[in-house]
Amino acid sequence: MLSSCQEGTCGTCETPVLEGDVDHRDSLLTPAEQATNDTMFICVSRAACPRLVLEL
């Protein structure tokens, strides 16, 4: 996956989430967007559940 900043600020590594909960550590998504768990920035965010399925 592409990434540029590796800090969760540029948006290059945005990846759709198909299943699971995300521990959002980026500074791009609003709290409402984070709550939907539809997307994540994989350079900084992590799984907040045992299984996280991404669209790669």
Predicted confidence band at 30 (pLDDT cuts at 50, 70, 90)?
Answer: very high
Q: Which domain holds residue 42?
A: 14-54
In a domain, 6, yes or no: no
Domain count for the chain:
1
Say which residues have a Cβ less than 8 Å from residue 55's Cβ, sequence separation at least 6.
Answer: 15, 16, 17, 18
In a domain, 39, yes or no: yes
In a domain, 7, yes or no: no
**Per-residue model confidence (pLDDT) at position 17:** 98
**Per-residue model confidence (pLDDT) at position 2:** 75
Please check the confidence at residue 1 and state whether its pLDDT lies above 80. Answer: no
**Per-residue model confidence (pLDDT) at position 16:** 98
pTM of the model: 0.87
